[in-house]
Amino acid sequence: MSISRLVSYIYSNVSVPKKLEKYAAKKRKYRRYNWIFLLSVFLPVVTVGVFNIVVDPYDVFNTPNFLGINHSKPRKDNSDRLYKATDIIRIKPVTILIGSSRTKQGLDPNHPALKNEQPAYNLAINGINAYELRRYLEHAIANQKDLDLVILGSDFFMFNSLLENRPGFSEDRLEKQHISLKDIINIAFSVDALSASKETIVDSKKTPSDDIVSGENGFMPYLNPNPETTQWRFRNGINVYYNFHAQYELSTPLEELKK
């Protein structure tokens, strides 16, 4: 073997460990970079999720309510299609009161007349139509085969075929024995849920606990009405009612109802 070949052979064998060492160092560097990148992306997302679950602005996860932190949940009342579906799964009532907001604000499931019909739950929902009412009744039956008593509050507007399902209605959460994955993601990780959590904390700091209706049994009465505004509220309610339901088409002809 010539001297030049010998030198080349020795050099190549000496340089291989150095190349391997450089490759290993680069690999460690890239791995460290990937971990930093993943943590920078997922850590804030996880933090937001935990924050929303703890604050629980829609009262879906049944987390404890702490005075001054999350005892007041202003977004809850208008999210009844969401939280009442999960309450039915958790409570499994044998008595339900179902209807529109009039039933929701007017019929207490803890009334003494229902003391032998417990657990009872107010499943009434704002602006509900006949189809939504039927689906929530089926949801209650799916979670409680021994459902014994249903008290129905009927409103004329429910049977308006032009009244479509509200945006908050979702078939995906009904007739299940668990909260849907879609709802978990929307409640825990959405920007809207984060905004609702912030609003919950701000409102809890300024609102006394005596002025809050938790709605643990679905009952959401109107508290502390001002007698001076009663007439105005009545006139306003009538105007809203007629404006909202100015167009009406009965879902089932009266002739069929008479049969």
Residue 41 lies in a domain: no
Are 141 and 90 in contact by the 8 Å Cβ rule? The answer is no
Pairing of strands 149-152, 95-98: parallel
Asked whether the predicted pLDDT for residue 89 surpasses 60, the reply is: yes
Give 55 or 5, the one with higher predicted confidence.
55
pLDDT at residue number 255: 55
User: How would residue 17 be classed by pLDDT, with cut points 50, 70 and 90?
Assistant: low
User: How would residue 216 be classed by pLDDT, with cut points 50, 70 and 90?
Assistant: confident
User: How would residue 23 be classed by pLDDT, with cut points 50, 70 and 90?
Assistant: low
User: How would residue 7 be classed by pLDDT, with cut points 50, 70 and 90?
Assistant: very low
Residue ranges of alpha helices (H) inside 56-79 are: none
Q: How many domains does the chain have?
A: 1
H or E element that contains 42: helix 3-55
- End-to-end Cα, the chain, rounded Å: 111
H or E element that contains 96: strand 95-98
Q: Which of 85, 86, 79, 95 is nearest to 193 (CA)?
A: 79
Residue 185 lies in a domain: no
Q: Range of 114's domain?
A: 77-179+211-244
What angle do the packed helices 3-55 and 191-206 form, to 10 degrees? 40
Over the stretch 90-139, which tens digit does the pLDDT of each residue have?
999 999 999 998 899 989 999 999 999 999 999 999 989 999 999 999 99
Give 151 or 256, the one with higher predicted confidence.
151
Give 159 or 79, the one with higher predicted confidence.
79
Residue 117 lies in a domain: yes
Residue ranges of alpha helices (H) inside 56-144 are: 80-91, 101-106, 130-143
Residue 5 lies in a domain: no
Rounded distance, CA 76 to CA 37, Å? 36
175 φ, ψ (degrees, to nearest 5) = 55, 35
| Neighbour order of strands in the sheet with 95-98 | 120-122, 95-98, 149-152
Amino acid, single-letter form, for residue 65:
N
